[in-house]
Amino acid sequence: MSKTRKILLGFVMMMNVFIASMMSNGVLVTIPTMARDLGVSQLEAQWVASAYNLAYGCGLLFAGRMADIWGRKLLFISGLVASIAFSFISGGMRHQLGLCIIRALTGLGLAVATPAGFGIIGVTFREEPGRTIAFAVFGLGNPIGASVGVLVGGAIAGISARGWQYLYFVLGGLAVIPLVLGLFVIPRDLAKHQATDKRIDWLGGFLITAALCLFTFSITQSGIADKGWATPYIPALLATSIVLFGLFGWWEHHVEHRLSLPPIAKLSLFTRDGWKITIVMLCAFCPFVAVAGWVYLTTLFYQEYKGFTALNTAIHTVPAAICGIFAALAVMWIVPRLRTPYVLALGGFLSGMACIIYAVEPEGTLYWKAEFIALLLLPFGADLTVGIGSILMSNLCKDNEQSVGGALFQTATQIAAAIGICISSLVTNDVATRKGNYYTGLRTSFFMCSAFAFVVVVISFVFMGRWPIAKRVGFARDVAGH
């Protein structure tokens, strides 16, 4: 493959993640305008954004398995086509429930495309430094999409009362770019890179998708419903999801060891090479709990505590998204030079310190003296983790597992984000009620988020202490003691 084609391929994969991130973050800013225009409450309008995130997170793992079986290029193109079609339909939808359904279908489309994109990079970029650069560019889509989404969403929503609808046409139009380029630059799927057994474990797919849907829905709804966890159906759905997770684990073990049917995700993946994949997923889970919790808490801090508007809040926090771009770019320089535990520990420490700054800053402190510094530190936990974690997961998975490996990694971050928001909400409300001080509740939650980020430092040195630089993990199989 020529250098130009590889560059274009990297751009296509980055654009997919960019659009997925922009669709999530851009819509959030338009919620107040949308609620007024449709005549619904902000809680009801919130589900337009939540439906997309819910469907996206729940569809990743099953879609990853289908990509490994049916072909990654086919699934990538099909997912983009679906997301484009439903984005344009969203732009003309004037009914809140219908809009939620269409946004969920948009999320499913991108859930099909994203693991396929991960797998395409994994089997196409074999040599360094191209492999590290490709995965760094892939992760770069997240912070760019977040920052552009917030700014574009806020600007478009302010055009008119119905300006929020125009955002969906913009998103659909942008998605056409990777679709057209992808048709020409994505190499055809080779049989040696696909699963030889084309059968699908439909029961396993149903169990894991249902478990993820119910789990994410209950976590999300707990922060939206008026009575929170006191709403009877929320803990009931959470308990049901846990049972389904258990059934999925039992079934996948049965399929792997007793049947000839290939499982959705082999449980042996998690124990392979001394539990390396499990350790990598934990190192992705913890900082995303912290970062997602921080995002939720800063929204409360600026809007509920300081009384800022949504747009003013976005302006105050956008430096984090912009700095995230530099953090993602830093992956290209840091990952080939520093051993794996040092990279992950650095990211966790910096994100933890960002949470600490918000937790301890005295009331009335100037934005530039504390909060701005925290905004510059926060992105490293997520963006360094995505960059190096993607490389590690790809290295530790076989060619016919690449998309499933990427889906596992992405699902871990999605679940972490949902949990981060949930426990931040619970801790804030509980402490604020007991202490009679809302700011004290926010401070306590920021401390809790910092603890999750600092856990990565412990995991990195206790369980990954002898791991070499990322490119040598998995491929070289030379990490002694793990």
Q: Is the pTM of this model over 0.95?
A: no
Q: Domain check: are 350 and 444 in the same one?
A: yes
Q: Domain check: are 216 and 94 in the same one?
A: no
Q: Domain check: are 457 and 442 in the same one?
A: yes
CB of 13 closer than 8 Å to CB of 77: no
Total Cβ atoms within 10 A of residue 367: 11
Written as one letter, the residue type at 286 is C
CB of 317 closer than 8 Å to CB of 298: yes
Residue 246 pLDDT level (bands cut at 50, 70, 90):
very high
CB of 374 closer than 8 Å to CB of 391: no
Q: Which two tokens stand for residue 471?
A: 């490119």
Q: Domain check: are 342 and 218 in the same one?
A: no
How many domains, the chain?
A: 3
Q: Domain check: are 289 and 432 in the same one?
A: yes
Q: In the predicted model, what is the mean pLDDT of residues 228-250?
A: 91
Q: What is the pLDDT of residues 43-86, one digit of tens each?
A: 677 788 778 888 888 889 889 989 988 889 999 999 999 999 99
Which spans in 361-472 are helix H? 371-377, 379-396, 402-435, 438-463
Written as one letter, the residue type at 2 is S
Cα separation values, 402 from 67, 119, 377, 464, Å? 9, 5, 31, 22
Q: What is the pLDDT of residues 165-213, one digit of tens each?
A: 899 999 999 999 999 999 999 998 765 555 567 788 899 989 998 998 8
CA–CA separation, 335 and 320 (whole Å): 21
Entry field: residues in the chain: 482
Residue 478 pLDDT level (bands cut at 50, 70, 90):
very low
Cα separation values, 167 from 27, 432, 452, Å? 8, 37, 35
Q: Among the three residues 175, 196, 217, which one is the final residue of a domain in this structure?
A: 196
Q: Domain check: are 15 and 29 in the same one?
A: yes
CB of 396 closer than 8 Å to CB of 267: no
Residue 79's nearest CA partner among 184, 181, 209, 179 is 179
Phi and psi, residue 77, nearest 5° = -65, -45
Is the pLDDT assigned to residue 288 strictly greater than 60?
A: yes
Residue with tokens 């894991």: 208
Is the pLDDT assigned to residue 224 strictly greater than 50?
A: yes
Q: Domain check: are 456 and 471 in the same one?
A: yes
DSSP 303: I
Which spans in 39-161 are helix H? 42-70, 72-92, 96-124, 130-157
Q: Among the three residues 261, 286, 313, which one is the final residue of a domain in this structure?
A: 261
Q: Among the three residues 196, 219, 253, which one is the final residue of a domain in this structure?
A: 196
Supply the range of the domain harboring residue 408. Answer: 268-482
Q: Domain check: are 481 and 447 in the same one?
A: yes
CA–CA separation, 115 and 334 (whole Å): 25
Q: Domain check: are 292 and 390 in the same one?
A: yes
* CATH, residue 112: 1.20.1250.20
Q: Which two tokens stand for residue 137?
A: 């560019």
DSSP 129: T
Q: Domain check: are 163 and 307 in the same one?
A: no
Q: Domain check: are 157 and 236 in the same one?
A: no
CB of 378 closer than 8 Å to CB of 294: yes
Instruction: Give the CA count within 13 Å in the CB-facing half-sphere of 400.
Output: 13
Phi and psi, residue 97, nearest 5° = -65, -45
Q: Domain check: are 292 and 409 in the same one?
A: yes
